Amino acid sequence: MHILTKLFGTRTTPEATSYPIYLYPGHAIPLRVALDTVAASQDHVQLLEWTKHYSGYIREAAIARCVELGKAECLPPLVGRLNDWVPEVRRAAAHGLLTLLATVPAEHFIPLLPQLRALTEAKRTDHAAWLSHFEQQLVHAGGRDGVLNALSSPDFRLRRAAYFVSHAQRLLEPSALSELGLRSGDIALARHAVTLIDTLPTADQPALLQLALSSSFGPVRLAALHLAVRHPDAPEIDSFLRRALFDAQGTLRHAAARALTTKGIDITPLCLEALASERLDSRRVRTALSLMVEIGAPYVEDVLSRYANDPRVDVRVRAMTLQARQNPAVRDELSQRALRDASPKVRVLGALLCTRFGAYVSLDQVRDLLTNHGDYRAALRICGREKWDHLVCLGWTTEFCSLDNKLLTELRQMLGVWLAREGASWTRPSAQHVDLLLRQQTAAALLELAADKRSVLADCLQRGGVWECSQS
């Protein structure tokens, strides 16, 4: 059958096939000539380019010629056209791949499984029925071993595709497939594998459930917990629930707490017992403290106060954060205490309590922060809330901290922003601000920082009533 009849049917007319097509760049030829050229081509590299041609007729003709040649090199472009925007091209590619299964060895199709499996998410049409039929034919054509070998491929996309083909075509027993997914280290496979457990015979479930409960993926552990609580008499379920109380994932902690409460077990003693044992690492200590706050455990304030003095920095930060959440009235005290801490991480928390939660820190305490720790970032963050505090802090940072070129440039940029915005606010400096800005060392530091903008700074301070004309 002539290629024109294939594409246009019996209603082919000269007009329908005479409009120009650019088969090669810069050279237009009639469509009928272009189609004949494609149909006679032996150059598979050129055919692969034509499968991406702007004309659907050329793409369809190139696919038909690829199928006729029957070369393995033609498989990838055919897969690429399975979701083409032209229905006829899609059908040609789908039919062509099924046809090539009879002549091209099945192993050449295995690397294409990720692209084929991506059709499950395609939106132009529903490929599910065709994909299932193709995978079935691939297995029958000798592709079973190739799919199973791909389960251990270094390419995670190929491993995933092979796994889902194995599941869809039942190449492995569900229990073996579930274990494979749970041990894969791939969250996509592990999440699917845990859903298989509930479909297995009761005798096969405990071992796989235990494997899922010890997964490194929080969503997998959570799904396994939901399965486990359906069988409250299952062995080791209570042991897992107690461990899950201190899990890093909050959703899992809540689920474990609800399950234990349903079983009539009081959670607070479990937390206190675990903390008292001193066998918990810092992450689990933080988790236990969070859980006690979440469930509203009694004595939690005393426990938090004790751990706010813990030698581990991350534990101190968590304990003080939870204290601030529990009792907003102590945020001022907590912020002041955090800013005296030797750890920069704890001081960051102190600044955060000021900037985000409105805790109060005096300027004297900011100066202590600079003189004792040189922590100008925390100091500037705190003082950034009020413009005159900010100016004083810029002067102190210049005065008390060691300045390299980078920090000096950064401070000058901040002062430039302050000067540019000064007229946008009518806030007057307080008596304390005036006294601090009149200190000879602070004034000299600000003038040094201002550099070529000294006159602008002096003018701003004169208008604010801080400096007299003689000082500029």
CATH of the domain at 35: 1.25.10.10
pLDDT over threshold 60, residue 101: yes
Residue type, 419: L
Say if 342 falls within a structural domain.
yes
Poorest-pLDDT segment among 150-154, 230-234, 270-274: 230-234
Say if 6 falls within a structural domain.
yes
Both 257 and 321 in one domain: the answer is no
Both 274 and 255 in one domain: the answer is no
Query: What pLDDT was estimated at residue 12?
Result: 46
What mean pLDDT do residues 361-365 have?
93
Say if 392 falls within a structural domain.
yes
Query: What pLDDT was estimated at residue 58?
Result: 86
- Which tops the pLDDT comparison, 12 or 37? 37
What mean pLDDT do residues 278-286 have?
85
> 267-274: long-range contacts (C-beta < 8 A, 24 or more apart)?
267/291, 267/295, 267/297, 268/292, 268/295, 268/297, 268/298, 268/299, 270/242, 270/245, 271/245, 271/297, 272/299, 272/303, 274/245, 274/246
pLDDT over threshold 50, residue 14: no
Structure tokens at 114: 């990720």
Under the banding of pLDDT at 50, 70 and 90, the label for residue 39 is confident
Residues in Cβ contact with 218 at an 8 Å cutoff, skipping those fewer than 6 apart: 247, 248, 249, 251, 252
Of 50, 80, 104, the last residue of a domain is 104
Poorest-pLDDT segment among 19-23, 27-31, 325-329, 386-390: 19-23
Query: Which pTM was predicted?
Result: 0.66
Residue 374, phi-psi category: left (phi > 0), alpha (psi -120 to 50), beta (remainder)? left
Say if 136 falls within a structural domain.
no
Residue with token string 């097509």: 21
Give 72-137 as a DSSP string.
Answer: GGGHHHHHHTTT-SSHHHHHHHHHHHHHHTTTS-GGGTGGGHHHHHGGGG-SSS--HHHHHHHHHH
Q: Which helix (H) or strand (E) holds 239?
A: helix 237-244
What is the rounded CA–CA span in Å between residue 199 and residue 194?
Answer: 10
CA quadruple 291, 293, 299, 305: dihedral positive or negative?
positive
Both 381 and 467 in one domain: the answer is yes
pLDDT over threshold 90, residue 348: yes
* Most confident of the ranges 63-67, 218-222, 349-353: 349-353
Both 357 and 438 in one domain: the answer is no
pLDDT over threshold 80, residue 295: yes
Residues in Cβ contact with 183 at an 8 Å cutoff, skipping those fewer than 6 apart: 211
Of 49, 72, 104, the last residue of a domain is 104
| Cβ atoms of residues 228 and 213 within 8 Å | yes
Both 400 and 464 in one domain: the answer is yes
Of 265, 295, 313, the last residue of a domain is 265
pLDDT over threshold 90, residue 321: yes
- Which tops the pLDDT comparison, 392 or 239? 392
Both 295 and 219 in one domain: the answer is no
Query: What pLDDT was estimated at residue 11?
Result: 42
Query: What pLDDT was estimated at residue 395?
Result: 93
| Cβ atoms of residues 92 and 60 within 8 Å | yes
Query: What pLDDT was estimated at residue 10?
Result: 40
Both 383 and 470 in one domain: the answer is yes
Query: What pLDDT was estimated at residue 13?
Result: 44
Both 312 and 239 in one domain: the answer is no
pLDDT over threshold 90, residue 331: yes
What is the rounded CA–CA span in Å between residue 298 and residue 269?
Answer: 10
If one counts every other C-beta atom within 10 angstroms of the C-beta of residue 130, the result is 19
Nearest to 71 by CA among 46, 35, 36: 46
Question: In the chain, pLDDT over 90 holds for what percent of residues?
Answer: 42
Say if 314 falls within a structural domain.
yes
Under the banding of pLDDT at 50, 70 and 90, the label for residue 353 is very high
How far is residue 68 from each of residues 29, 40, 64, 139, 451, measured CA to CA in Å? 24, 10, 6, 23, 79
DSSP-derived letter for residue 186 is -
Say if 465 falls within a structural domain.
yes
Structure tokens at 339: 């800013």
Poorest-pLDDT segment among 129-138, 176-185, 440-449, 459-468: 459-468
Say if 2 falls within a structural domain.
yes
If one counts every other C-beta atom within 10 angstroms of the C-beta of residue 282, the result is 14
- Count how many domains the chain has: 4
Query: What pLDDT was estimated at residue 77?
Result: 86
What mean pLDDT do residues 128-154 have?
91
Residue 227: which domain range?
A: 173-265
Both 257 and 280 in one domain: the answer is no
Q: Compute the mean pLDDT over every residue in the chain, rounded to the nearest whole number.
A: 86
| Cβ atoms of residues 223 and 191 within 8 Å | yes
Say if 138 falls within a structural domain.
no
pLDDT over threshold 90, residue 389: yes
Both 190 and 233 in one domain: the answer is yes
What mean pLDDT do residues 130-155 have?
92
Both 237 and 208 in one domain: the answer is yes
Both 259 and 270 in one domain: the answer is no
